[in-house]
């Protein structure tokens, strides 16, 4: 099967159109990234924890606490190096690092497209570069953006190795695979998929020397992960507190939310493009002519293999780890699918008038997506830094700051410098990192809340004010908290959610029946705040001896 040919003048005109639209999409993505950086504000809790770990006193301290981070060491090393250059003290300096990673994602899409299609990226710029999920979470101080950047480069490098060979290209592919797996644990799934697809191409050629080279380019990075086995084993002892039932419906719900962040119609566009890319890949598989060492059939098999293996591997990863996923968990899959879609459609329509559909579809969709993305990036990551400013001005000695849920204390502790004590429910000994191990210990203590209640009572009796930060389940009439057994012994197992709810209810009931006065404190924000960390503030004061609700 061959594709219909077009004239050289048409091909030249269409190529210019591709480049013009690609430059326009890139410029739009850069504008959105800059707007996101300028509006993001303070560091939300996971970013604050990442910076705290990276800025620890020594690498020994980092190694001892690595199980409290969700990623391997690469991002930590980058933040630490950035800080050593004197750029890690202020939030805006750290936000610049996030911007550079976001810009790197755009650059990786360009290099990937040049390697796979010898042309500019179009659909991948639309699906990834303009995606609010990529703009916000790819540019945050988490490893998702870095993992995407490196895996997109790794796909291109492996194809370069398959198409052109050479020791230099093998070294490039191996190094990018190595960096990718040390950026994001999930990248190991995609690296395995890349290498399996590459071995398949080499085996189809009966080039066993190349097949071994591809295998080694994946095996070396895999072996380099062995030092993390102990880290993962230690973390698994307390990660059970976050486990939830993960099935296809739950995965699809969150994935659909990630795709729809750019518009309610975007999941349908994704579906149409995935089907089109699949058909384009099948068309390319039927093409038997060589193309300067880059047979369309080989490229199609390579990309379809990566996409299929990544999808299956990622599904198994999510259902096995049982983590409650959020939108950013799917950014890696979106990037892999997007570059495969872009390259497959570009190669299949290269010599056909249908090649105009790709740039025009990208342009029309981008015009619709850009306003949605622009609104999305004009959002603060958190309001906790603003809350801390108010607390620093108003909290006096003898006051008590109580934040709930506990994991939000990491971001508050970064900014709060007032004289009053900061306490979570239940109290923990460390607010620098997300210490699930400390929470698990408290969940096994049936009297975990007694110290917290005692501190609140002492504050109210002595005339101090309790500053509540976060979400507390006040009820009318007040509702006492359920009595839960030690974690691991009852029907809830090790799940933290019911215990956190009970801790909040116990606090709310105690304050409603013992305190005299409650007032909401307004926290003014210069921009809308992302709902993921938009906390409320309330003051509680006065003490009554009898149990009478407000």
Those residues whose C-beta lies under 8 Å from the C-beta of residue 74, and which sit 6 or more positions away, are: 143, 146, 179, 182, 183
Is the pTM higher than 0.85?
yes
pLDDT of residue 368: 97
Residue 546 has pLDDT above 80, yes or no: no
Distances (CA, A) of 259 to 42, 241, 325, 530: 26, 28, 14, 17
pLDDT digit string (tens) for 149-194?
999 999 999 999 999 989 999 999 999 999 999 999 999 999 999 9
| Torsions phi, psi for 484 (to 5 deg) | -105, 140
Check the CA dihedral 66-69-73-75 and report its sign: negative
Nearest-CA neighbor of 195 among 172, 182, 213, 175? Answer: 213
d(C-alpha 124, C-alpha 148), whole Å: 12
Distances (CA, A) of 375 to 96, 134, 270, 379, 528: 20, 14, 21, 8, 10
How many Cα atoms sit within 13 Å of 46 on the Cβ side?
14
| Burial category of 400 from C-beta neighbours within 10 Å (exposed 0-12, middle 13-18, buried 19 and up) | buried
- Mean pLDDT value across the chain: 94
pLDDT of residue 1: 46
d(C-alpha 540, C-alpha 520), whole Å: 9
Count of residues making up the chain = 550
Distances (CA, A) of 39 to 180, 388, 418: 29, 18, 26
Query: Residue 77 in 3-state DSSP?
Result: helix
Better-scored residue on pLDDT, 295 or 53: 53
d(C-alpha 331, C-alpha 336), whole Å: 9
Nearest-CA neighbor of 194 among 296, 300, 303? Answer: 303
d(C-alpha 473, C-alpha 484), whole Å: 17
CA angle 145, 148, 36 (to 5 degrees): 30
pLDDT of residue 323: 85
d(C-alpha 294, C-alpha 428), whole Å: 58
pLDDT of residue 293: 43
Better-scored residue on pLDDT, 394 or 245: 394
pLDDT mean over 233-256: 90
Per the CB < 8 A criterion, the answer to whether 415 and 389 are in contact is yes
| Cα 242 to chain centroid, rounded | 17
Q: Give the confidence band of 294 by pLDDT, cuts at 50, 70, 90.
A: low
Coarse DSSP helix, strand, coil percentages of the chain, rounded to the nearest 5 percent: 65, 5, 30
Residue 435 has pLDDT above 90, yes or no: yes
pLDDT digit string (tens) for 96-124?
999 999 999 999 999 999 999 999 999 99
d(C-alpha 110, C-alpha 97), whole Å: 20
């Amino acid at each position: 099967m061959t594709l219909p040919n077009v004239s050289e003048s048409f091909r030249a005109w269409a190529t210019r159109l591709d480049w013009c639209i690609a430059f326009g999409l890139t410029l739009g993505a850069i504008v959105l990234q800059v707007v996101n950086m300028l509006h993001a504000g303070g560091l939300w809790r996971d970013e604050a924890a990442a910076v705290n770990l990276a800025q620890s006193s020594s690498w020994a301290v980092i190694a001892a606490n690595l199980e409290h981070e969700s990623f391997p060491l690469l991002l930590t090393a980058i933040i630490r190096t950035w800080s050593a250059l004197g750029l890690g003290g202020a939030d805006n300096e750290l936000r610049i690092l996030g911007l550079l990673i976001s810009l790197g994602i755009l650059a990786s899409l360009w290099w990937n497209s040049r390697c796979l299609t010898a042309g500019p990226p179009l659909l991948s710029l639309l699906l990834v570069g303009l995606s609010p999920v990529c703009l916000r979470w790819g540019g945050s101080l988490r490893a998702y953006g870095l993992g995407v950047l490196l895996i997109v480069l790794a796909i291109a490098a492996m194809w370069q190795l398959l198409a052109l060979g050479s020791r230099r290209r093998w070294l490039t592919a191996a190094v990018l695979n190595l960096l990718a797996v040390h950026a994001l644990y999930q990248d190991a799934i995609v690296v395995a998929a890349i290498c399996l697809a590459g071995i398949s191409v080499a085996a189809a050629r009966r080039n066993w020397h190349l097949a071994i080279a591809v295998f080694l380019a994946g095996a070396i990075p895999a072996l380099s992960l062995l030092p993390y086995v102990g880290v993962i084993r230690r973390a698994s002892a307390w990660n059970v507190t976050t486990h939830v039932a993960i099935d296809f419906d739950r995965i699809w719900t969150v994935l659909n939310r990630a795709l729809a962040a750019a518009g309610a119609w975007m999941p349908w566009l994704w579906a149409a493009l995935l089907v089109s890319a699949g058909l384009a890949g099948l068309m390319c598989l039927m093409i038997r002519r060589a193309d300067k060492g880059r047979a369309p059939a080989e490229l199609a098999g390579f990309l379809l293999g990566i996409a299929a293996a990544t999808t299956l591997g990622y599904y198994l990863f999510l259902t096995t780890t049982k983590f409650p996923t959020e939108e950013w968990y799917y950014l890696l899959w979106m990037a892999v699918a997007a570059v495969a879609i872009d390259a497959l459609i570009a190669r299949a329509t290269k010599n056909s008038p249908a090649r105009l559909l790709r740039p025009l579809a990208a342009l029309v969709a981008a015009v619709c997506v850009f306003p949605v993305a622009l609104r999305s990036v004009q959002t603060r990551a958190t309001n906790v830094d603003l809350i801390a400013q108010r607390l620093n001005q108003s909290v006096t000695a003898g006051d008590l700051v109580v934040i709930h849920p506990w994991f939000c204390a990491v971001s508050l502790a970064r900014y709060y410098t007032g004289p009053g004590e900061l306490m979570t429910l239940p109290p923990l000994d460390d607010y620098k990192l997300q210490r699930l191990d400390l929470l698990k210990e408290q969940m096994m203590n049936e009297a975990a809340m007694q110290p917290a209640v005692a501190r609140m009572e002492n504050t109210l009796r002595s005339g101090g004010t309790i500053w509540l930060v976060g979400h507390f389940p006040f009820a009318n009439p007040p509702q006492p908290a359920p009595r839960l057994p030690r974690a691991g012994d009852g029907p809830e197992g090790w799940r933290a959610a019911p215990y956190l709810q009970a801790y909040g209810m116990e606090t709310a009931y105690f304050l409603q029946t013992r305190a005299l006065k409650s007032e909401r404190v307004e926290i003014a924000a210069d921009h809308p705040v992302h709902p993921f960390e938009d906390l409320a503030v309330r003051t509680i004061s006065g003490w009554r001896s009898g149990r009478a609700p407000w």
